[in-house]
Structure 1
Amino acid sequence: MDKFLKRKSTIDQSSSSVQENKVNDKENDPLKESHIQLEAILKDLLFDPTLRPKINHYHPNYRDAIQRFYLQKSCCQPRNHAFPLTKFGKGYRQFNPAWFGVYGDWLEHSVTKDAAFYLYCYLFRLAIISQAGLSFRGHDETKDLKNQGKFLGLLYFLAKHSEHFKSVVLKNALGNLKFIAPVIQKDIVNIVPNETIKAIIIDLGDDIFSVLIDESPDGSIKEQMTIAIRYVDKKGHVLEQFLGIVHVSDITAISINMALESLFCKHGLSLSRLRGQRHYRASNM
């Protein structure tokens, strides 16, 4: 048989298959694909503060690069723009472009909305506190105390290390615009989860999802339930996202269902897109 049929070398076959696998690996390299996507995002980033998507709108893997990009690109400062007059009471006011020279490293202006913005608030906000799950307020926020809580502590730290920041916050703030009162801090705490859930709903879009419910009584043994949704994002990743804790009068099926519908209605979710439910410690379901 060897006279008529030439044997193929097994070494050649194995080497060729290895080369093909290497070529396929290069073509399907997830790091290369991610880098290409990031370059496309950076190329299309908007300069006007009003038109920019929020930082949490972007994938977590890209946020650091986007923040660095905006820091290196400098602020949106249309110095030659003819700023319009706006009526305030009996007089008219307009944005003063001379402020760009005074607060050049953080002050921005949106031509679209005719409004001023703070670059660092857009990039970082209070992510340091909220992402770490730390409390904002201290036990005692008296002026002379060294430990006044995380929120005031961060403000003092920024003021100490930035002359521009120091000139507009705390005792140097205009009038009563310090925004450090307990009510203001509570408003900030409430804004953080609302913005987070809004980003989750946007990521979900009009796709179907399932819901996960668990019993979570607090220290006073009040009935509560934690609610999360499970869905597949646009990249094919299975995600479980926490929506919140809801108080219920009891753990009957009717009460749980009413609380679930109320939460869905609040965030614009439809039961028609619900494809599955999983309940922990809820035998009556």
Structure 2
Amino acid sequence: MILANGGVYPALWTPTDAGGALLAEALADQVRFLRGAGADGAMVLGSTGEFVHLEMGVRREVLTRVAEAAPGWPIIANCSDVSPLRVAALGRHSRAVGAAAVALLPPWFFESAREDVVEFLVRGAEASGLPLVLYNFPERTGHRLELGMVAAVAERVRVVAVKQSGAPFGYHRELAELGREKGFVVITGADTRIADALAHGANGVVSGLANAVPEWVVSVYRAAKCGDASKAATSQGRLASLAEAIGGLAFPLDVAAAMEARGRVTGAWKAVVSPSTAERYRRAVERCRAILGEGAGEACQRGGEQV
């Protein structure tokens, strides 16, 4: 079963040109890079993938291209949208290309009763015909997936995981307790606190920083899973240093800075960026390059070649 054994699932970046067209070869290369570094699968079209900036045709193309680039690699397809019709269409396409599961955020912008949010999520999952990953990110949607809501969805469709992003961190533990009862696992979006999340009952990680340093994320996760606290702390410290270097930038521009420092193709910025933010970005890239240079023995390997 997808996610039953946990794992590292990078929150895949979506490289596009200035007109919004997908940079298909760059995407395929990123998939190969992540898979080669030991990632267990990927979350596609998530927040790091900037799905809200992508046209529907591009979203479909992304799913198709990822599936083609990595046959058999588990894909969690984020089909979130405010429109139930678009959610259903993306879910059907996800099933057609062989995705392992769909992920859904609660609808945002308009207020919704808890019962309506539950119904929205259930119908989205039913339309896809795939297992569901509930995506809890209340800072972005304005809706917290409360335990009762999660349980209500899990009673009607097959929920395989809850992706927990944002605060409070202790909610990982509450979700994990419910998951043991309902048959799902918890995957954390807190890639700078992976060991802590696992100690709180999480079983896997969806990581934006893995786009830049997948081997660091894999190292933290595997060390924490096997109880090597010293190695986990060392690897987590490297990730924390990288996160600090990009801390002056808003998400997900911060992820792009780390990727650029690693030599990964990010494409054009999808959001409007001011000159002052562009300068902060440039400085963040420089700081990241210094950190990656210090970790060249592990972090600067790509496909067996130095970068």
Relative to the length of structure 1, the TM-score reads 0.30
- Larger RCO (alpha carbons 8 Å, 6+ apart): 2
Q: Which has the larger radius of gyration?
A: 1
Judging by fraction of residues, say which structure has more helix: 2
Judging by fraction of residues, say which structure has more strand: 1
